[in-house]
Amino acid sequence: MILKKKKRKEKKSDLKALYVIKRLIKYIGSNNKKYIAPLIILIILNLFFNLFSPLVFRHLIDVGIGNAIGEGTGGNIDIIIFDGILYFILTLLIVLTRILQGYIIQKLATITMYNLRYEIFTKFQYLGLDYHENSNNSAGKKISYLTNDVNTIQELIESGLLVIIGNFFSLIGALGFMIILSLQLTLVLFIIIPVFGVIGGSVFKKARKYYKDLREKVSKVTSAFDESILGMREIQSFAIEEEMFYEFNEATKNEKDISLKSAKLFAIIPGLIILVFTTGIGILFFTAGILIRDKVITLGTFISFIFYLFQFFEPLNALIGFFTILQNALAAGTRMIGLIDTYPSIKESFNPINLKNIQGEIEYNNISFYYDKENPVINNINIRIKAKERLALVGYTGAGKSTFIKLLNRFYDPIDGDITLDGVELKNINLKSLRSNIGVVLQENFLFSGTIMDNIKYGKLDATDEEVINIAKQVNAHNFVIDLENGYQTLVGERGSHLSEGERQLIAFARALIGDPPILILDEATSAVDPYSELLIQEALEKILKGRTSISIAHRLSTIINSDRILVLDKGKIIEKGSHEELMKKNGFYQHLFELQFKDPYKKY
């Protein structure tokens, strides 16, 4: 019973491997159809010329030279010259078809690599935050998809994913000619083949396990490297270089151990193949000597048989080598196909609505949400936000404030209930239409490498330079920008490293507002800036918040005192709501938060 279960398990694994191969072949073919037919023709022609060339030697020896070997004569010179010219032409055609074949394969590999990277990169853009914020999907793992995994598939194609079919038919063709030339010698050959099969099967099974483990180890190395580069300032600030080196060294050591195991396996293979092959050749020569002596076969037949023998073992050896590369590609292919087949959690309706002239009235109806069923983040929230209302959210860390606004952007969908914008349910609104009407400024805003002008225009790709300058003036960013050496053409550096925290935040405000969104979300937008930058931002906010709906999250309560309404969240529930004055009169949770910041920090609630 146990054995039967084991067999079923192995069969399931084989089917999985076949499925991955089928998907990869289909993917290569669907994107490169115009190259497939010429490649197949070249493979067939190359196969024909290769299979025909040994017969020229048979004719040369048996007819052209004939008895000249024993008699010491020159043989039939005309036939010798004819066979020499014929062999030269065949060799030329073999080389030509091989060159053209190699060119097409390189083109296939390059195009497929480009298409795979494009598709994977595009997939990353449309997968929801539930994917990107998952701890299992680190930046290093994502980078590994685009580099290591794609390169592995490229290597698979270059090694001859399609040519391997030609090798298979070459093997069959060579075997067929050997049977025709000498059945006895062919039977001797079959003593060697099973040994190759055993070696190949053993390598195939072990290699797949090694390469699967190796893919995971490589992604961990990439992730460790990525974190060490992005966090270099923190690493040096806390003097934890040795600890980071240890962590990176552990990741690379694990990768090295798996690589050494696979290297050890593959180092043994060539020696075993040579041993089996030379032993087989020795037996073959002994048998051939007896057959030639007994005049069962001619010398020319034996020479031709040897040529076919090499034509038989060359593709056989290539097939074994191909299966080695295939194991690595299967591990990479499984990961990539899994990613490509991942559906975004946020889906648009069949006929989404493009909203126009948005007023900005938002309503949360019985909204509940959790990342983990045991720990609800938002619990049955009902709130109507009026058009052009200034709403603020306050509460301890983990109260559900950031999740509240993530649901409005449809980064996540609620587990229960629905959210409407101007009476239209968010799920029925075109995602681009929804998000383009919501400006977002975060505590830590990401600036793209490029100029200040480029970064502001990300908020409105068709914006003019004049629009950029006008919005920069509105958010009080213009003065510091024009003081820079290159003004709006100043390069911000990677992640905005050439600018101060306050300058980056002002650029983020300009970017969020250049499209004049009717809804603005501020998530701790001023908590990380210096007092002067905060003053500039507060002055700008008094102007830019007029005439639009806004939701502000703030721990620094001084920044939201002027809000029309404040919601106090605790454990995913609204426990208080009202203006600053109204909440202070309630002598409740909000007053406690306020006193923690402005009065006695040790006063207990």
pLDDT (average), residues 359-381: 87
Residue 40 pLDDT greater than 90, yes or no? no
Tell me: the pLDDT tens digits for 528-545?
A: 566 776 777 777 777 778
86 within a domain of the structure (yes/no): yes
At 328-352, the pLDDT tens digits run 777 778 888 888 888 887 888 888 8
Determine the average pLDDT of the residues in 292-315. 82
Q: Does residue 485 fall inside a structural domain?
A: no
* pLDDT at site 384: 93
Number of domains, the chain: 1
The residues near 422 (Cβ < 8 Å, ≥ 6 apart) are: 355, 358, 359, 360, 361, 387
In a domain? residue 488 = no
486 CB neighbour count, 10 Å cutoff:
11
User: Domain containing 249: what range?
Assistant: 20-340
Q: Residue 399: what pLDDT? A: 85
Residue 602: inside a domain:
no
Query: Mean of the pLDDT values across residues 253-264?
Result: 72
Quick one: how far is CA 355 from the chain centroid?
34
Least-confidence region, from 130-144, 256-270, 546-560: 256-270
Report which of 557, 311, 290, 549 is spatially closest to residue 438, judged by C-alpha positions.
549
Banded pLDDT at 57 (limits 50, 70, 90): confident
Q: Which residue shows structure tokens 């005192």?
A: 561
Could you report the per-residue pLDDT of 4-30, keeping only the tens digit for each? 444 444 444 444 667 777 777 777 766
Say whether pTM exceeds 0.95: no
Residue 301 counted as domain residue: yes
Residue 374 lies in a domain: no
Query: Quick check: is 351 in a domain?
Result: no
Residue carrying structure tokens 């975060």: 442
pLDDT of 114 reads 81
Q: What is the 3-state secondary structure (H, E, C) of 441-502?
A: ECCCCCCCCCEHHHHHHCCCCCCCHHHHHHHHHHCCCHHHHHCCCCHHHCECCHHHCCCCHH
Considering all CA atoms of the chain, what is the largest pairwise distance in Å, rounded to the nearest integer? 125
Min mean pLDDT across 144-148, 310-314, 475-479, 597-601 is at 597-601
Is residue 211 assigned to a domain?
yes
Least confident span in 75-89, 317-331, 399-413, 485-499: 317-331
Q: Which CATH number does the domain housing residue 293 bear?
A: 1.20.1560.10
Q: How confident is the model at residue 286 (pLDDT cuts 50, 70, 90)?
A: confident
Q: Out of 23-27, 65-69, 281-285, 376-380, pick the least confident.
A: 65-69
Please, where are the H alpha helices in 294-367? 299-340
pLDDT at residue 452, rounded to an integer: 87
How far lies 95's CA from each of 45, 50, 88, 98, 316, in Å?
A: 11, 10, 11, 5, 20
Categorize the per-residue pLDDT at 364 as very low, low, confident or very high, splitting at 50, 70 and 90. very high
Nearest Cα to Cα of residue 23 among 147, 124, 161: 161
